[in-house]
């Protein structure tokens, strides 16, 4: 169900890109911006992991530094049928974790020092399972595609806006339709992006819980993360904001109305679903 939802939303996002490009430049414009998104996706696919790790301030560690963490990651990777990923640490008191890498052969798992202090071994294993679930489901590739297409739509809307301001708009274009594209297209792209991101979080929860066969441990970890992040949120620097969608839980905002535009689904709903899974596993 999550895969089908992601496919539909991704198709809608791509269709929106083609439609907006076509509005500006006809068939040629649609093709041009679709090709542009493809080029952006190529670079995001190959280099997004390095950029994300640098922005998060993560550093690679050795097994000698954290032997127990390595053992947990190795056990989860083996249970998931995946190669051992590289392990990184983020020196941050706020509890969180994320994964990156274009495929299971180039995977990276990163955890903050805060989450190592907060969670017990069982809960940490469940969190690693969630992150390995992202890699196993190829969510890094999906998120890269989504981010670049959404970014292209916003860029096109800005081009149209400045073109309209300085009189470069095609006279055949309806000014009201142009205004609608400028205002609505970026919002629609953002909402589709959020829908895909939330769907992938639910899927990673389910995959991780099945790999570790312990959904209640992940539910417990998310409960602790909810309280821990509320007590010690990350500083919303531009770099951390850029990678916030990768974390297992939103590192800045609390629950409530802020969830409307959050890349993460509500933690309470994720916890409810995990508890419901417990009786089936």
Phi, psi for residue 82 in degrees, rounded to 5: -125, 155
Is there a binding annotation on residue 130? yes
Please compute, for residue 218, the number of CA atoms within 13 A of its CA located in the half-sphere on the CB side: 35
Residue 259 is given by DSSP the state G
Compute the average pLDDT of residues 84-106: 93
| More confident of the two residues 197 and 168 | 197
SS3 category, 100? strand
Mean pLDDT of 81-102: 94
Mean per-residue pLDDT over the chain, rounded? 81
- Using pLDDT thresholds of 50, 70 and 90, give the confidence band for residue 122: very high
Q: Which two tokens stand for residue 161?
A: 């806006």
> How sure is the predictor about 162, in pLDDT bands with cuts at 50, 70 and 90?
low
Q: Which residue has the higher pLDDT, 183 or 6?
A: 183
The answer to whether residues 52 and 100 touch, using CB atoms and an 8 Å cutoff, is yes
Q: Residue range 106-112: average pLDDT? A: 94
Please say if the pLDDT value at position 17 is more than 90.
no
User: Which tokens in the block code for residue 265?
Assistant: 């689904």
- Name the region of 77 (left: φ>0; alpha: ψ -120 to 50; beta: rest): alpha
Tell me if residue 65 is catalytic: no
Assign 7 a pLDDT band (cuts: 50, 70, 90). Answer: low
Mean pLDDT computed over 230-250: 86
> Residue 168: pLDDT above 80?
no
User: Which pLDDT belongs to residue 148?
Assistant: 61
- What backbone phi and psi angles, to 5 degrees, belong to 232? -135, 75
Judged against a pLDDT cut of 90, whether residue 238 lies above it is answered with no
| Digit-coded pLDDT (tens) for 242-262 | 788 889 999 986 555 455 567
Calculate mean pLDDT across residues 227-238: 91
Domain extents for the chain? 2-278
- For the stretch 23-77, pLDDT in tens is 666 777 667 767 776 776 677 667 778 888 888 899 999 999 999 999 999 999 9
CA dihedral 48, 74, 250, 156 (to 10 degrees): 20
Beta carbons within 10 angstroms of residue 7's beta carbon: 13
pLDDT above 70: percentage of residues in the chain: 69
| pLDDT for residue 78 is more than 60 | yes
Of 13-22, 50-59, 157-166, 242-251, the one with minimum mean pLDDT is: 157-166
User: Encoding tokens for residue 68?
Assistant: 């127990």
pLDDT of residue 197: 80
On whether 66 is known to bind a ligand per the annotation, the reply is no
Residue among 131, 223, 235, 269 flagged as catalytic: 131
User: How many Å is the Cα radius of gyration of the chain?
Assistant: 20
pLDDT at 111 over 80: yes
Lowest mean pLDDT among 185-189, 207-211, 216-220: 185-189
Burial 62-73 (b: 16+ CB within 10 A, else e): eeeebeebbebb
This model's pTM is above 0.85: no
Residue found under tokens 């679903």? 273
pLDDT, tens only, 187-205: 777 777 777 788 889 999 9
From 143, 136, 146, 81, select the one nearest 103 (Cα to Cα).
Answer: 136
Range 95-118 average pLDDT: 93
Mapped to the 3 state alphabet, what secondary structure does 149-169 carry? HHHHHHHHHHHHHHHHHCCCC
pLDDT, greater one: 262 or 80: 80
Tell me the C-alpha distance between 111 and 1, whole Å: 29
Query: According to the annotation, is 134 in a ligand binding site?
Result: yes
Helices 2-56 and 139-165 sit at what angle, rounded to 10 degrees?
Answer: 80
pLDDT for 159: 65
């Amino acid at each position: 169900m999550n895969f089908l939802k992601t496919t539909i939303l991704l198709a809608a996002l791509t269709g929106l890109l083609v439609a907006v490009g076509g509005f500006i430049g006809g068939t040629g414009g649609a093709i041009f911006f679709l090709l542009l998104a493809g080029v952006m996706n190529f670079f995001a696919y190959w280099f997004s992991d390095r950029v994300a790790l640098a922005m998060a301030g993560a550093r690679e560690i050795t097994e000698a530094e954290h032997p127990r963490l390595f053992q947990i990651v190795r056990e989860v990777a083996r249970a998931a049928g995946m190669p051992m990923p590289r392990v990184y640490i983020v020196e941050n008191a706020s509890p969180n974790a994320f994964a990156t890498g274009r495929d299971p052969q180039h995977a990276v798992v990163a955890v903050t020092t805060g989450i190592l202090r907060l969670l017990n071994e069982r809960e940490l294993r469940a969190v690693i399972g969630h992150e390995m679930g992202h890699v196993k489901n190829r969510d890094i590739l999906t998120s890269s595609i989504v981010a670049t297409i959404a970014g292209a739509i916003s860029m096109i809307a800005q081009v149209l806006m400045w073109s309209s301001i300085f009189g470069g708009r095609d006279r055949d274009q309806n000014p009201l339709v142009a205004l609608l594209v400028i205002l609505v297209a970026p919002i629609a792209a953002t909402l589709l992006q959020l829908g895909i991101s939330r769907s992938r979080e639910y899927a990673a929860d389910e995959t991780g819980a099945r790999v570790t066969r312990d959904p209640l441990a992940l539910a417990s970890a998310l409960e602790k993360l909810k309280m821990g992040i509320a007590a010690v949120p990350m500083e919303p620097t531009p770099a951390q904001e850029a990678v916030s969608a990768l974390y297992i839980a939103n590192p800045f905002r609390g629950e409530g109305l802020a969830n409307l535009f959050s890349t993460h689904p509500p933690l309470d709903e994720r916890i409810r679903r995990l508890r419901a899974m417990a009786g089936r596993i």
